[in-house]
Copies of this chain bind each other. A is one copy, B any other.
Amino acid sequence: MCGTERSSHSIACLSNGSRANLPVIDLDPGNPAVFEEYWRRMGDKCRVDIPGCDLMSYKAPTGNVCWFLLPELEEAIRRLHRAVGNAVVDERHLVVGTGSTQVFQAALYALSTPASHKPIHVVSAAPYYSSYPEETDFLCSRLYKWGGDAKEYDAEKSGAFIEVVNSPNNPDGCMRQSVVNASQGKLIHDFAYYWPQFTPINSPADHDLMYFTFSKCTGHAGSRIGWALVKDREVAVKMTKYIELNTLGVSKDSQFRTAKIIKLLCNDYQKIGLNSSNNFFEYGNRVMAKRWKNLRDVIGRSDVFSLPTFERQYCCFLGRPSRPYPAFAWLKCKEEIEDCGSFLRGYNIEGRHGKRFGADAKYLRISMLSSDDVFYDFLDRLSAIQTFQQ
């Protein structure tokens, strides 16, 4: 942490007008810049090299349901899940998408019924990922429709539904299970954050339709690679059809690069084991642990904010107990402040407003994944605000 004390005093003394001139600290998006330093250190080992005549076809040389999935990517992803132990991959079809955003929409398409007279409701327990409602509704499809908080959903009255279970959950980091107690529901498990840097891995997830993303696994968000593990062949076929009609496949350049980076990650793990900061997940876990400790130290001295707390659990991958270190801090303002977003905006700190997650305005989602500079500037300014409030 850089210069907290000095800045605390100077910000605490500022007038409202002067605070508005502070540089904006934007912690709204979840861009995973935190992991860039690791890949910089890896240097040429994870450089990819693509000749001009390679990867030119729409198709992949595969007999797969997902006809555009590169075989080397499939092999790398299956190997990664086996190494990490976070998902069952045997007897699962693998469908690749342009980020988990596209995979989620492919899943909605695959689980809905065109012949049905009414759109199927898509629900998720609040606080839910802010993009689910918009991604579900923006095309005003007659196949599916956002149905709101899963905890409020009355399946008896409202009929068939898809429940999205995000575990650990964005924004609050909690581990989750489905909440709607009804047989006519279908489940989608969003495991974007079920990796050892963010949460203890307790067992391989084993559900009908689970999806993951390279963006949050290693931090390579720019590659736009997500994937689903799908038990039912027909669902995998329909998801593939969605991606065919939507984008005629998925970037081969990104698939190739993702395969190479995941392979490197698995090789390093097999060769050097965990007891080295050269292991990506060990490195990521330490970095996230340090950030959470620093944030909790600042919040602990505060009368203004609080954070969720998490129990220590055994992580099967790390082989030791670990706490969850979520990708986002679900910051809550105390009684006297109605709107956490507006309050922090007064100090030019941007987060994502609680209401966007189906929650109260007292909450604000703060990214824990920014670059070091941005994150420690944030802690710096947050310390100062607390001093000011007191």
Contacts of A246 in B (CB 8 A): 101-102, 105, 135, 246
Please determine whether A52 and B33 come into contact, CB atoms closer than 8 angstroms.
no
Q: Which of A179-187, A216-224, A297-305, A330-338 contacts B (4 or more CB under 8 A)?
A: A216-224
Contact of A33 among B56, B143, B261 (CB under 8 A): B56
Contacts of A224 in B (CB 8 A): 98, 247-252
Contacts of A220 in B (CB 8 A): 55-56
Contacts of A252 in B (CB 8 A): 222-224
Please determine whether A56 and B141 come into contact, CB atoms closer than 8 angstroms.
no
Please determine whether B138 and A140 come into contact, CB atoms closer than 8 angstroms.
no
Please determine whether B59 and A52 come into contact, CB atoms closer than 8 angstroms.
no
Instruction: Tell whether A58 is near chain B: CB-to-CB under 8 Å.
Output: yes
Instruction: Tell whether A46 is near chain B: CB-to-CB under 8 Å.
Output: yes
Report which residue of A44, A131, A135, A224 has the largest number of chain B beta carbons within 10 angstroms of its beta carbon. Answer: A224
Chain A: residues with Cβ within 8 Å of the partner, total of 63
Please determine whether B42 and A47 come into contact, CB atoms closer than 8 angstroms.
no
Complex CA distance for A64 and B297, rounded to whole angstroms: 39
Contacts of A2 in B (CB 8 A): none
Instruction: Tell whether A31 is near chain B: CB-to-CB under 8 Å.
Output: yes
Complex CA distance for A371 and B219, rounded to whole angstroms: 38
Please determine whether A52 and B56 come into contact, CB atoms closer than 8 angstroms.
no
Contacts of A221 in B (CB 8 A): 56-58
Complex CA distance for A51 and B220, rounded to whole angstroms: 12
- A127 CB to closest chain B CB (Å) equals 20
Complex CA distance for A254 and B140, rounded to whole angstroms: 30
The 10 A-B pairs at the shortest CB distance, nearest first, are namely: A46-B52, A222-B252, A251-B251, A39-B53, A140-B142, A98-B247, A40-B53, A39-B52, A253-B253, A55-B222
Interchain Cβ contacts under 8 Å between A and B, 17 examples: A36-B56, A39-B51, A40-B52, A43-B52, A47-B51, A47-B52, A50-B257, A56-B219, A99-B247, A101-B246, A102-B247, A109-B138, A135-B246, A140-B142, A222-B251, A222-B253, A251-B251
